[in-house]
Amino acid sequence: MKYREAPAAAAPHETPVTRFLDAHGVSYRRIQHTRPALTAQDVALQAGIHLAQVVKTMVLGAKDGAYVVALVPGDRRLDIPAVCRQTGLRLSLMRPQRILETTGYSVGAVAPFGLRTAPACLVADESLFAWDELNISSGHPLLSCQLASGALVPFVDGGIFSLVRPTP
């Protein structure tokens, strides 16, 4: 008796992120992944792009419940003290369960848009904008969105600055 593999799950037609981009008139290309892309490396490999073009969406929380979304290149690490200096908030990385409760997204599929609750602000690392195109999560591990880097700028209300750790 032969067993057939179960068909691969399909990427959703739309997500909160694609609805947000559509509602704001942002042009983007849907990138469907053949298997769940839960790391920046997975996304870069499956999308055929440089790791630095993958936008990692990091969520930092304050004790009072406020939170900040930080966008960093997929090949770099977030400098939390830099974000704290820029925002004037005492922040730390949120735990996975709190990220899900606050944003509506699971770790590995966190997106900068379509969040369950509004962040205090969204900040981005300046090196992202050296690229013409960037790839953001759609909020679903089988779909990402490729868009012009400049399309992110109007939504970065907390500033664009160096917020990554120096490379060794």
Domains of the chain: 36-161 (3.90.960.10)
- Tens of pLDDT, residue by residue over 18-32, are 999 999 999 999 999
Q: Per-residue pLDDT for 119 more than 50?
A: yes
pTM: 0.91
Strands 159-161 and 121-125, how do they pair? parallel
Contact 78, 58 (CB under 8 A): yes
3-state secondary structure 74-104: CCCCECHHHHHHHHCCCCEECCHHHHHHHHC
Strands 133-140 and 143-148, how do they pair? antiparallel
